[in-house]
Amino acid sequence: MKAEKLDYPTEPRRHYLNADYGVMSWLFTVDHKRIALLYLGTITVMFFIGGAAAVLFRLELATPQGDVVISETYNKLFSAHGIIMVFFFLIPSIPATLGNFLVPMMIGARDLAFPRLNLLSWYLLVIGAVFALGAVLAGGVDTGWTFYTPYSSVYSNTFVVVTIIGVFLAGFSSILTGLNFIVTIHTMRAPGLTWFRLPLFIWAHYATSMINLLGTPVVAITLGLVVLEGVFGLGIFNPTLGGDPVLFQHLFWFYSHPAVYIMVLPSMGVVSEVITCFSRKRIFSYRFVAFSSIAIAVLGFLVWGHHMFVSGQSLYASMIFSLLSMFVAIPSAVKVFNWTATLYGGSISYATPLLYGLGFIGLFTVGGLTGVLIASLGVNVHVHDTYFIVAHFHYIMVGGALMGYLGGLHYWWPKISGRIYPEGWAKFAALIIFVGFNLTFFPQFILGYLGMPRRYHVYPEEFQVLNVMSSAGASILGIGYIIPMIYLVWSMRYGKPAGANPWGSTGLEWQTPSPPPTYNFEKTPIITREVYDYRKQESHG
């Protein structure tokens, strides 16, 4: 971590960054804030590796022929991109970094309930990442991130088992983090901090942790079964041994659909914090926004079959799953409408975190509405496994989850590093990312309805124009991601000191110096007000 090189000439004060020095003080730390930074470094590395894979296959897709790489390599590239981005970046992204840093601070606690378990979670992710990257270096895996059987268990000659061990370990990392958050939120809230005074970021993390705890074991066991079938020849999914390949899809999506909400719920928490802070407003309908997180987490477990409308699942099962999928759109709509209503009558400043927050609302709206579109059975048959699906889930995962992550990183950067990032550059990068994202993924909706299947190395010539647009967008997007990387690292040394509360936020985490002392608060705070109490704050001031 670069942080240990910092010096603070203007701040001789002790805080979590300068409390101790040396590699060991980081590798054996139990401070949730330091562990958050360990995660930040890890997932940033994974993000750029996953991104590099995407750059390579988008380059390949600029022409209809297979001319940059051969088919085997192409298949390994999109598999590596999916596996790394889903399991080693998006799922840990906000909870493990911002969540780890902020959950104790937002509830006025000294640390998480189980600090050592927290450190173990990070080690599990790192060991998992070593396995996954080891598989890539050894020759790669070509199953896609979905590991569909019997291809993955019987037919693929690539490093499936090693990759699955990596994903398995990363899964336990998120199970333990979820457990830690739930216990912490239940037992360690400061005096006076009732459930309905909790920041919505906490509600979102509580819902996410529920999914982690209940869903992740299922995918871990399922991938374990793939290994048993592949290595020991047990007939679980392989039909020639009496297994059922569709059973795998049921078990896989039972986790992997809720996993989408693991990615996007924490971002929704960030957006609630950012919108209130930069429009100086209390959130519109706190309880509706809070409970919509829980509703999404619960309903999210009942819709996995919508990934299987053309897989051989019974006609009537498909109808039930379609109906339930329509219901999950409602709590998402409630959030979007309430954020919009929060802006009404506010005092809005266009700081970078808010730009990301507004970007999230727009892109998540498109992603969510196209989600309704593909949940409708008759249309799903046509767009299933085409680029329409690819575009839809990137609007949710990148337009939604990643925008929230970047917005949150900018918003809390002054708290984490004690420094202000360069605002001009940050706005410029946000704009580049927004433009690059839409240019990359919007043409894919059109490609998908035209019928271009996903995971195609070679494609018919009539799809080329839209693919070139998409590849051009991807290169703009790639540049957009490198800029924040540079100025955030720069600002750790050269940024202006931030002070305790540069945004004038009501959040508890801002009522202690930046960077915070090791145990967060000089003395345990006592909470007497509701959260997002911006009007009162002004009249008091």
Partner 1 sequence: MSPGFHLFPEQASTMAPRVDALYFYLVGISVFFSLLIFTLVIYFAIKYRRGFEEEEPPPEMRDILALEVTWIVVPLILALIAFFWGANVYYALARPPQNALEIFVVGRQWMWKFQHPDGQREINQLHVPLGRPVKLTLASEDVIHSFFIPAFRVKYDVVPGRYTTIWFEATQPGQFHLFCAEYCGTQHSGMIGQVVVLEPEQYEAWLGGELGAPRAVAGLPTSRPVPEGSLTAKGQQLFRDLGCQVCHRMEKQGIGPVLTGVFGSQVKLQSGETVTADESYVRESILNPQAKITAGFQPLMPPFQGRINEEEVMQLVAYIKSLGQTQAGNRQGAVSSTK
Residues 6+ apart with CB under 8 A from 424: none
Q: For partner 1, give the closer residue by CB, 109 or 223.
A: 223
Indicate the SS3 state at residue 496: strand
- Which among 493, 362, 487 has a CA at the least distance from the CA of 428? 487
Q: Which part of the chain contacts partner 1 (CB under 8 A), choosing from 101-109, 203-211, 225-233, 376-384? A: 376-384
Pick from 29, 42, 184, 279: which binds partner 1 (CB under 8 A)?
279
Residues 6+ apart with CB under 8 A from 445: 370, 387, 388, 391, 392
Q: For partner 1, give the closer residue by CB, 367 or 480.
A: 367
The whole-angstrom separation of Cα 76 and Cα 49 is 13
Count of positions on this chain that bind partner 1 (CB under 8 A): 89
Q: Which part of the chain contacts partner 1 (CB under 8 A), choosing from 94-102, 116-124, 426-434, 451-459? A: 451-459
Indicate the SS3 state at residue 125: helix
ω into 515 cis (within 30 of 0): yes
Pick from 347, 493, 530, 536: which binds partner 1 (CB under 8 A)?
347
- Which among 118, 119, 117, 112 has a CA at the least distance from the CA of 188? 112
- By CB under 8 A, the residues from 398 to 417 that bind partner 1 are none
Pick from 13, 186, 529, 535: which binds partner 1 (CB under 8 A)?
535
The whole-angstrom separation of Cα 524 and Cα 541 is 23
Kindly state whether residue 372 participates in binding partner 1, applying the rule CB under 8 A.
yes
Rg (C-alpha) for the chain, rounded Å, is: 23
Amino acid at 228: L
**Least Cβ distance, residue 387 to partner 1 (angstroms):** 11
Kindly state whether residue 340 participates in binding partner 1, applying the rule CB under 8 A.
yes
Q: For partner 1, give the closer residue by CB, 114 or 288.
A: 288
Under 8 Å between Cβ of 343 and 271: no
Kindly state whether residue 336 participates in binding partner 1, applying the rule CB under 8 A.
yes
Pick from 41, 115, 134, 144: which binds partner 1 (CB under 8 A)?
144
**Least Cβ distance, residue 340 to partner 1 (angstroms):** 5
Is residue 312 left, alpha or beta, with left meaning phi > 0 and alpha meaning psi from -120 to 50?
left
- By CB under 8 A, the residues from 57 to 86 that bind partner 1 are 66, 71-72, 75
- Taking the chain, what is the end-to-end CA distance rounded to the nearest angstrom? 39
Kindly state whether residue 297 participates in binding partner 1, applying the rule CB under 8 A.
no
* Structure tokens, 308: 């299987």
- By CB under 8 A, the residues from 465 to 504 that bind partner 1 are 465
- Which among 411, 418, 410, 413 has a CA at the least distance from the CA of 516? 418
Kindly state whether residue 150 participates in binding partner 1, applying the rule CB under 8 A.
yes
Q: For partner 1, give the closer residue by CB, 56 or 416.
A: 56
Kindly state whether residue 454 participates in binding partner 1, applying the rule CB under 8 A.
yes
Q: Which part of the chain contacts partner 1 (CB under 8 A), choosing from 16-24, 89-97, 450-458, 508-516? A: 450-458
Kindly state whether residue 242 participates in binding partner 1, applying the rule CB under 8 A.
yes
The whole-angstrom separation of Cα 347 and Cα 278 is 7
Kindly state whether residue 346 participates in binding partner 1, applying the rule CB under 8 A.
yes
